[in-house]
Chains A and B, each alone.
Chain A
Amino acid sequence: MAVFNLKIVTPHGVHFQGEASSITVRGVTGDLSVLPGHINMVTALGTGKASVTADGEKRTAACSSGVLSVLKNEVTVLASTFEWKEEIDLERAKENLARYKEELKKATDKKDIEMAKIRVQRELVREAVKTEK
């Protein structure tokens, strides 16, 4: 089966490095999948679920804001956060979600509202990825 080299990097370290056969992420313009032999491409990532198929095994993760680039069959994902399903702390996500929702309610400044929305979205994605069967 055809594969490509995938590298997933965040400020917390390298989360994946090796061969994969497909990756699906939430881009700014919608969901997109990259398969082997994809044209060279660079795009920005939104906050959402990401799934990677490597060695015939599909793994899901919560991913937020970053860049995906495809260059000569080398795919690089640079995200500000990337957590595999098994790494997500559901309790913490729920706690944060409640707190950020509260912040969102209190926020009056346009910028604060924007920030709070992003935070809420991030926690919602975490929760969704973790609880997904």
Chain B
Amino acid sequence: MASGSMKEIKLRIKSVESTMQITKAMELVASSKLRKAREKVEKARPYFLELHETLSDIVAANTDFSSEYLVQRPVKKSGYVLIAGDRGLAGGYNNNMFKYFTEHSEGKNVCVIPVGKKAVEFCKRRNIEIVTDRYAQVEDITTADCSDIGGVMAGLFAEGKIDEFFIGYTTFVSMLSQSPEMVQVLPIVSIENNGEKKKQSAIEYDPGAEALFDMIVPIYVSGMTYGAVTESWASELAARRTAMDAASKNAKEIVANLSLEYNRARQAAITQEITEIVAGAGEA
């Protein structure tokens, strides 16, 4: 009996060890990808800041400025860009996003542009209206893809099919903490025309301030989308790294416990054998 349980323990140790190898490898892969992902986030930042400033300047320089992208309409239908991962095994990364989205969109008439395989699957499972499932790969999404998404969003908004747009993404707070977030992209609320003309020299707008503004909005929205996607991707990797680190630690603990059990069983078997030999020698 003793040798049977010893064999079982040995097998379990082996299986846990091979799991540990996988989790460790995944952790390393996530770490190295994370470095690149964070660089991407850093590189995109100045572009976005400049773009925001340019738009704000246009609005601030004109007191009688109006653009349909700035008007808050009664909301009949809301659009969301939902960014999640392509794969699981990243702790609560995907689930947190979906939970947050469900809370935020409750009671609304929604349609979604999902980004990432998990987001597409989520929407299909919940029977949520999907605009397009072209972007089922979050890892190698390009700026061109994001400018497509931005164009689609601006188009649907301008046609009056959708009255507000949000981007659901995960912010990278730190290596250990990432939190889901919703930002409103349309109508643009972060830029305000408070009727006060900024003191600055005259600027020539080609073609016209309003036409130009309407041309820049899709670019602005695309920039926001790209920023959100890169940040979410970094968050996903960080979440996966943390989850895999925890899994490796747990596996290590299990192996330690099992080794102790194995040694005890081995010791018990030896003791029993000695007792049997001694007993047998005493009888002779």
- Interface of A toward B, CB cutoff 8 Å: 7, 9-14, 27-29, 39-44, 65-67, 69, 71-72, 76, 78, 80-81, 111, 115, 119, 122
Contacts and interface: CB of A to CB of B under 8 A. Distances in A.
- Chain A: interface secondary structure? strand
B58 A40 contact: no
Contact of A43 (B47, B155, B205): B205
Contacts of B148: 115
Contacts of A9: 46-47, 50
A115 B151 contact: yes
- Chain B: interface secondary structure? helix
Contacts of B43: 11-14
Given A40-B202, A42-B212, A44-B216, A80 B143 contact: yes
A65 B219 contact: yes
Contacts of A69: 54, 57
A29 B202 contact: no
Contact of A119 (B51, B144, B215): B144
Interface of B: 43-44, 46-48, 50-51, 54, 57-58, 143-144, 146-148, 151-152, 155, 201-207, 212, 215-216, 219, 222-223, 226-227
Contacts of A27: 206
Contacts of A10: 47, 143
A44 B47 contact: no
A71 B53 CA distance: 12
Contact of B44 (A11, A43, A111): A11
Given A10-B143, A76-B50, 11 more contacts: A11-B43, A11-B48, A11-B226, A39-B204, A42-B54, A44-B216, A67-B54, A69-B57, A76-B54, A78-B51, A81-B143
Those 4 A-B pairs whose CB atoms lie nearest each other, nearest first? A13-B43, A43-B206, A40-B203, A44-B215
Contacts of A28: 207, 215
